[in-house]
Structures are given as structure tokens and as C-alpha cells.
Amino acid sequence: MKKLLAFSLVLLLIGSSLFFIVTNNSSTQPQTQQSSDIQEPNPAPLIVENKVAADLNSSPAAPDQAEQLVVIERTDWKLDQPLRTQLTRLKNRADQGDLQTAYSLAMNLRFCSMAPLDETDLDARLQQAYQYKDDGVAIADIKERYEFCAGVDQQQRDEFYAYLETTAKAGYVYAQEEMASVTPELFMQLAGATELERGAYIQKRNDFIQLQLSLLESASQHGSIKALIQLSNMHHSQNYGDHGRAKSYALNQLILELADDNELQSRYSWFVQRRQSELTPEQIEQAQALSQQWLAMIKANGTLYLP
């Protein structure tokens, strides 16, 4: 009986040892394998990357520095003091070639071009706003513009265009964008060309439109999404040369690739899909090639101006 009990105890100890070995192996081995498969993620670099480069590059390696775009932050051009108190200083700096100051001066003068000239003009505009039962927003805007622009006469206000055009031709992207907002009719009025003979009038007007197009193209090739949008709209109207719809399609593709705004993405995805039905396969192929050419120029310039 004692021998039987001793033998049973030995079997029990052997079984416990085997269970401990099997359990220990099964619990440790998968942990070792899992830890060898997981790697700590690399921290994201603090740079602005062009997402187009990431889409085109299938390699997991870091994108080429040449394909990274620097986002240029927009600055507020509005002055915090009445324009008349700073006009001389701004003009002196602008005339010395300070493009940022010249742009700010142009924008503030243009802001004043829509302000009342004197108290009589102010009273007339306020009376009109009261008649329309304005909720106060327009009235406050009229008063703010008048106080900011008081003392700056009409001739000085009209000088906004000269500063804007000079700055745009010198390559200042924001001024190039803004040139698109000047209508041909306003330009002809500011240039004193409204009484020209018909042929001369049309020629001068067309020259201005060509200037607008060239400045917008320059801004676009420096990564201005605002300029790309304006160019796309102009070409889609088919009033600015041949192959307008194809050019608009190419520009819409660029906007889609560069913009990170959800609303713009949604709008221009719809535009691209709709335009596909208006173009032949050959036109679409040509437009895509044009889009890639412009994208290469934007990358070479290395900047991105968000709207």
C-alpha cells in the first residue's frame, strides 16, 4: 500500500512539472515574437510637405526636399491708424522699392476708394442705409471707412492701381492675385481711356486683360491657389483664348492636388468629374500633361499660397 502511494505521488509531481513547462512556453513565446514585429513610429518632421509628392512617390522613403512646398502665411494689410497719418511714410517706403509696403498702401487706398469723401457724402450714404432699414452692419462699415479714410482725396485714392500694378509686375504674388479683381472697365476709367476711339479702346482693354492673365499665371506657378481658381474661371468662360475648357480642367486638377480645404476639395472634385464629359479623351490627356507641367514649376519655385 505504501509503495502504491509513493508511486502515485511521483506521477503527480511529474505531471505538474510537465504542465508548468508547457504553460510557461506557450505564454512567453508569442510575446517575444510580437515585440520583434512592432516598431516605434518615427516622429513626424516639422516641415510642410506637398501632398502631391507623397501621392506620386510610391517609395516609403522620405520625400525629396525639392518636392516640399513652403506655405507662405498671409499678412493683414489693413492699417490700425487712419491712413492720412501714415500716407507719407508709406509712399516713401513704397517708392524706395519695398514691395510689401507698396502692396499694403495699394490695398488701403483701394479700401478708401469705396469710402465717403466728405461729410455730405457720408450723410447721403447713411440716409440711404437708414431707408433700407439696415441692421447696423452697413452703417457701422460706412462710418468706419469714413473715419479711416478722412483726409485722403479722390486723386490719392485712385493711385492704388499704380502701386498695385508696379508691385505685381515686380513679382509680388499677393499683388498679382489682386490684379484679377480690377475689372477692365475700372482700369479704363483709372487710365483715363474711356473716350478713346473704338479700335484704340479695344486694344488697350485687351492689353490689360493679357497683363492680368500673365500675372495670374506667374502667381499660379508660385503656388497661389487663389490665382489658380481665378484662371480656371476665366478659361472656363472660353473668352480668353483657345482650348479654354481643357485649360480649366488642367487647373482644376492642380487645385485638387494642392488644396487642403474640404470645401475646395468637394467643389473641384465635382468640377473635374463634370468637365470630363465635355472633353475628348485626347483633350483630357493633354490637360493632364499640362497640369503636371505646372505642378513641376510650382515644385521648382517651392512655395504655396493658400486662399
In this prediction, residues 285-293 reach a mean pLDDT of 93
What is the tens place of the pLDDT at every residue in 124-143? Answer: 999 988 887 766 888 999 99
Total residues belonging to the chain = 307
Specify whether the CB–CB gap between 55 and 292 falls below 8 A: no
Least confident residue range of 2-11, 33-42, 110-119, 186-195: 33-42
pLDDT at 275: 84
CA 204, CA 184: separation in Å to the nearest integer?
9
Q: Is the pTM of this model over 0.85?
A: no
In this prediction, residues 204-217 reach a mean pLDDT of 97
- Which amino acid makes up residue 18? L
pLDDT at 30: 33
What is the tens place of the pLDDT at every residue in 42-95? Answer: 232 222 233 322 232 222 323 343 358 999 988 899 999 999 999 999 999 999
486694344: which residue's cell?
Answer: 203
CA 180, CA 216: separation in Å to the nearest integer?
7
Residue 249 has pLDDT above 90, yes or no: yes
pLDDT at 210: 96
Specify whether the CB–CB gap between 208 and 183 falls below 8 A: no
Residues 6+ apart with CB under 8 A from 88: none
Least confident residue range of 127-141, 181-195, 226-240, 258-272: 127-141
Average pLDDT over the chain reads: 81
DSSP E strands, the chain: 70-71, 303-304
CA 165, CA 211: separation in Å to the nearest integer?
10
CA 9, CA 12: separation in Å to the nearest integer?
5
